[in-house]
Amino acid sequence: MSKTKTKEEAKISPKKTSDKTAPKEKKSSYGADDITVLEGLEPVRKRPGMYIGSTSSTGLHHLIWEIVDNGIDEAMAGFATEITVTLLDDGMVQVIDNGRGIPVGIHKVTGVSALETVMTKLHAGGKFGDGGGYKVSGGLHGVGASVVNALSEYLKAEVHQNGKIWAQEYKCGKPLKKVRPVGETKKNGTVITFKPDRTIFTETEFNWGKILDHLRQQAYLTKGLIIKIADRRKGHRSKDYQFHFEGGIKSYIKTLHRNKTVKNETVFYVDKEVNDSRVEVALQYNDEYNEIVMAFANNIYNMEGGMHTVGFRTALTRTLNAYARAQNILKEKNENLTGEDVREGLTAIISVKLCNPQFEGQTKGKLGNAEMKTYVEQIFGEAFNTFLEEHPKEAEAIIGKCLLTNQARLAARTARASILRKGALEGITLPGKLADCSSRKPEESEIFIVEGDSAGGSAKQGRDRKFQAILPLRGKILNVERARLDKMLANNEIKNLVIALGTNIDDQFDIDKLRYYRVVIMTDADVDGAHIRTLLLTLFFRHFNPLVAGGHLYVAQPPLYQVKKGTAAKYAYTDDEKNAIIKEFGGNPGEFEENAPTEEDETAAENEEEPEADEDDAKGKKNKTKAPSKIIIQRYKGLGEMNPEQLWETTMDPAKRILAQVTIDDAAKADEMFDMLMGGDVAPRKKFIQTHARKVQNLDI
């Protein structure tokens, strides 16, 4: 889970401003000359977001993933065993694989080297034909290498093949010279060295941790493959990592459960081929309440699942019900475990390899191949039934967990029925503390979840009533990481939040009923505020996950300081900004300590702005020398310390505020973090605190 900071543009009309705009001049004609044709790789440079998602950090790292994917395709085809990724100086990256190497012969259609064709033409590669390319592959439909080339200010491709080294260099996707031999070699493989174009990407600094996490996952999904990562950047400590997992996704499950109490010590695992496709599934149950099901097709993470996920869930529910009935655990004719019952506490990884994957959307969020439902359902169902019969004690523990979940679900349904009445969710009976907005259009409305009545009062007075709603929370909400749904809904603060949002919760969550498209957490900038924010993030991640995944959740960024000199006042959101403002006001940052201005300070500051004159001023003889104004620094430890106008100006005005959008980059890593920070196991949390304690500065207690 990550928070992306962006300075907002005024997407929602700022308070007390006019909507009047200058009329646009209409164009008199529209003809053939108005049609623009982009050739070669020009479309990529013109609209990079269409090909890599964004030009921010996510898109920057996607360049590495695309080149690495080509090496993984070689590994899945059985030709590569090792991939090396090295971060070099000046934003350069080098990716090496020991596969067959990109062909360098003349391509019969383009008339130039196949290497140049692959690097400069969209949809050119070994992923489309019926020849010696790839039966199974990931990547961007064959546009990966060419897209990376188009978005790099410099790229060099080297191919080690048949005893020779062939090379070609490019600038912004255009070849500088023809493909030519540059030496001899005894190796096979491809070396791609590139430097992302600084004029295209808003960020050009590669994140070492993000690279490690992604490549570790890819190593799990391609068992036996060796992936090496090295950091050779100046100013960075030289680092080397190597990932190699013979157990594949079975090892991945063990890693995800390393801090959890498991129900079945033996990890279920099946790996089987059927009709040129391959199905690999691993699962294990733990004693917690959350479900993690990660689905992959050709090593591409399918965030929205797809047909392979449907097949898995169908077989899981049917197999556990059949086993429980055969063991006389389920005795009543109509007594069955539901899909929700059998998935609580489940961690599963589904990885399929297929020849012609059909994804929904360029981001490949969902697999659409209908045949994979049948394959997964058949292969997993048979293997899991055998596993239960061969491991009776572990099967009993799994069934026992499912039955307990069934009982809790029925209790939660009763609690939900008594609390979340239909009328309440439709807005007839909204929480008394909710100060709703006048707009009934969700797309233009936003709700601020505020800590305490004091901050809530300021927010209610400072807001724009047309589109901003305020919901104050009393104290700290329940830690939902350790509570079932029925206990959660007994908590008034959580109940009020669920009713205010209008979406219901968990399996009955309906994103179409969301009353506000922006849900903003606004807490104090102190330890208690951070704790409340973490509790709310846990609630949203665990029980309103589609809301987070849909980009509707934000965290407000109130200023930490007000720096004032005379009547001039500026706000600082970081210590660096505070020091810069002090320098701007003519002070030395090292001589100041944060303090709250007193009445005397305010009065003195106001008086200092007025020119001081003696009796001779009237005669025009002389003026007294004005004393320098005092710089006053106020540290805001609570939103309630701001008056309504200050809160609007710094934190709520869409034209000026800074919001951090909460996103989920890696669901498994986010789950692990919440489990460690908010779960019942103390040891991992203690270790985390000891590890990161030295990084904490200006801790307010």
445, 437 contact by CB (below 8 A) = yes
Residues of the chain above pLDDT 70, percent:
81
360 against 628, higher pLDDT: 360
pLDDT on residue 346 = 95
Confidence of residue 691 (pLDDT cuts 50, 70, 90): confident
521-570 pLDDT, tens per residue?
999 878 888 889 999 999 999 899 899 988 999 999 999 888 998 888 89
- Sheet containing 658-663: give its strands across: 2-7, 658-663, 553-556, 518-522, 446-451, 468-473
Among candidates 530, 564, 492, 547, which has minimal Cα distance to 662? 547
Q: How many CA atoms lie within 13 A of 113 on its CB side?
A: 19
Confidence of residue 667 (pLDDT cuts 50, 70, 90): low
Residue 299 has pLDDT above 70, yes or no: yes
Least confident of 434-448, 580-594, 606-620, 645-659: 606-620
DSSP H or E segment with residue 196 = strand 189-196
Confidence of residue 625 (pLDDT cuts 50, 70, 90): very low
pLDDT on residue 489 = 80
pLDDT on residue 148 = 94
Least confident of 104-108, 351-355, 362-366, 514-518: 362-366
Cα separation, 658 vs 9, whole angstroms: 9
Q: Taking all residues of the chain, what is their mean pLDDT, rounded to a whole number? A: 83
Confidence of residue 415 (pLDDT cuts 50, 70, 90): low
568-589 pLDDT, tens per residue?
889 998 888 999 999 898 888 7
Residue 410 has pLDDT above 50, yes or no: yes
Dihedral angle over CA of 496, 502, 508, 510, nearest 10: -150
Q: What's the whole-number mean pLDDT along residues 490-506?
A: 88
User: Global pTM?
Assistant: 0.66
Q: What's the whole-number mean pLDDT along residues 459-469?
A: 95
**Residue 395: C-alpha distances to residues 32, 406, 551, 655 (Å):** 69, 16, 39, 58
pLDDT on residue 698 = 55
Contacts of 333 (CB under 8 A, 6+ apart): none
637 is written with which tokens?
Answer: 């430890």
432-457 pLDDT, tens per residue?
789 999 999 999 999 999 988 888 89
Residues of the chain above pLDDT 90, percent:
51
pLDDT on residue 147 = 93
* 142 three-state secondary structure: coil
Domain architecture of the chain: domains with CATH:
43-243 (3.30.565.10), 249-416 (3.30.230.10), 420-558+658-695 (3.40.50.670)
Confidence of residue 419 (pLDDT cuts 50, 70, 90): low
* 403 three-state secondary structure: helix
Among candidates 99, 105, 101, 107, which has minimal Cα distance to 124? 107
521, 536 contact by CB (below 8 A) = yes
161 against 109, higher pLDDT: 161
249-258 pLDDT, tens per residue?
999 999 989 8
What is the secondary structure of 62-108 as a DSSP string? HHHHHHHHHHHHHHHTTS--EEEEEE-GGG-EEEEE-SS----SBPT
pLDDT on residue 14 = 39
Least confident of 10-19, 187-196, 306-315, 585-594: 10-19
Confidence of residue 295 (pLDDT cuts 50, 70, 90): very high
Catalytic residues, by residue number, are: 451, 524, 526, 528
